[in-house]
Amino acid sequence: MSVLLAGVVLKLATFGFVRVCLELLPEASLRFQPLVFAIASVTLVLSCLSVTRQSDVKAVIALSSVGHMAIVTVGLFALSPTAASGGLLLSLAHGLVSPALFVIVGGVLYERYHTRVFRYFRGLTLLMPLSATFFFLASCANIAIPTTLNWISEVLVVVAVFVGGILTSTLTDSLNPLIVGFPSRQLVTLDFLVAAYSPPGV
């Protein structure tokens, strides 16, 4: 279900923005642009802050998806070809990366660990090196490591919005990789690359 939601259903919103808001109602899109930017900026900040408080890997992936779609919304409603290209590219990248993470966590790790809590995945590189490798690569793309498709698309959106003089959205979009990336970085460096988890007293 999560795979379909991230890979297909969320893309319907992008399609609706492009076909209805931008093509059929361009004047209304321009008029309500400040409101859309405000909602997207608040959504992005709240999702990023929520991610930092999560211990469930699936919740982190879901909340980071919310942040990514907020950036897509900003890119589309910036009414700039560069920003729109970045938004559509990020939507495509999200449709590839987020379902991959959900498949690894829900279809592979949960079936073996029966939990999605960070600390129980410690030492995964020793026990399941192939799954850990795929999750590492997908996490790098999810947090927009340079040279990934997510990074390229987010740079396009941020640069186009900055050139357009929209300071608030530029700042919130720029903070997204830093805040969303922290839990994923913590998962990869602390929980995957150290010894297996042992309960207290064992």
Phi, psi of 31 (to 5 degrees): -70, -40
pLDDT tens per residue across span 7-58: 788 888 889 899 888 888 889 888 998 899 889 888 888 887 887 788 888 8
115-162 confidence digits (pLDDT tens): 888 777 777 777 888 888 888 888 888 888 888 898 899 888 888 887
**166 vs 72 pLDDT, higher one:** 72
Packing angle of the helix pair 81-102, 129-142 (nearest 10 deg): 160
Q: How confident is the model at residue 92 (pLDDT cuts 50, 70, 90)?
A: very high
Tally Cβ neighbours within 10 Å of residue 30: 12
The widest CA-to-CA distance across the chain, in whole angstroms, is 65
Residues 17 and 28 sit within 8 Å (Cβ to Cβ): no
Show the beta-strand stretches assigned E in the chain.
Answer: none
- Between 85 and 136, where is the model more confident? 85
Where do we find the tokens 């993470």?
101
Q: What integer pLDDT is reported at residue 201 of this predicted model?
A: 47
